[in-house]
Amino acid sequence: MTQTSDNVTWLTQEAYSQLKAELEYLSGPARTEISKKIEAAREEGDLRENGGYHAAKEEQGKQELRIRQLQQLLENAKVGEAPADDGVVEPGMVVKIAFDGDEDDTITFLLASREYASTDIETYSPQSPLGTGVNGKKVGEDAEYELPNGKMASVRILEAKPYQG
């Protein structure tokens, strides 16, 4: 998983390899594909009314943005191990919290970079208000974080286990 501090992103070897493979694909075969799409659409004639051309150019822009994001992320990456199973909340952990200490009002989430957002489990960034509040806390401790409306909320850490993917 990842942890960002002072512009350094900590990645497991698996995560680093995955992101590097995505970058290689996007900056190689995917760039060639999108160039071919743009060229084919350009040959269709009037560019002002050519939906295929505009869609391909938009796709190219999104792809180039993702390439820059990946380059920056990997440039500042340090490869490390998954977090220890020591009950301390840190990036790469699945965390179960109770709102206001109410054991019936709980959520479980992965504390990790959005790069690892999964459909299996909700993901909160370590830089989010909740992520910042719980990061470094131990199971059984209370944490506070600021809500969007400026009020403070309190949660109790019930569980913190390394994410198994």
**What pLDDT, in 10s, does the model give residues 57-105?**
999 999 999 999 899 888 877 776 667 788 899 888 899 999 986 778 8
Query: What's the CA gap between 81 and 16, in Å, rounded?
Result: 11
For the domain spanning 3-80, the CATH number is: 1.10.287.180
Query: Residues in the chain, how many?
Result: 165
The count of other CB atoms within 10 Å of the CB of residue 38 is 18
Which residues are paired to 12 by β-bridges? 80
Mean pLDDT of 37-42: 89
Please say whether the structural domain 93-162 has been given the CATH code 3.10.50.30.
yes
The pLDDT of residue 125 is 85
Alpha-carbon 87 to chain mean position: 22
Arithmetic mean of pLDDT over the chain: 84
Contact 131, 120 (CB under 8 A): no
Q: Where are the domains of the chain?
A: 3-80, 93-162
| Percentage of residues in the chain having pLDDT higher than 70 | 86
Query: What's the CA gap between 30 and 28, in Å, rounded?
Result: 6
Query: What's the CA gap between 144 and 101, in Å, rounded?
Result: 11
- Assign 155 a pLDDT band (cuts: 50, 70, 90): very high
Q: 70 is written with which tokens?
A: 């990946």
Q: How many CA atoms lie within 13 A of 78 on its CB side?
A: 10
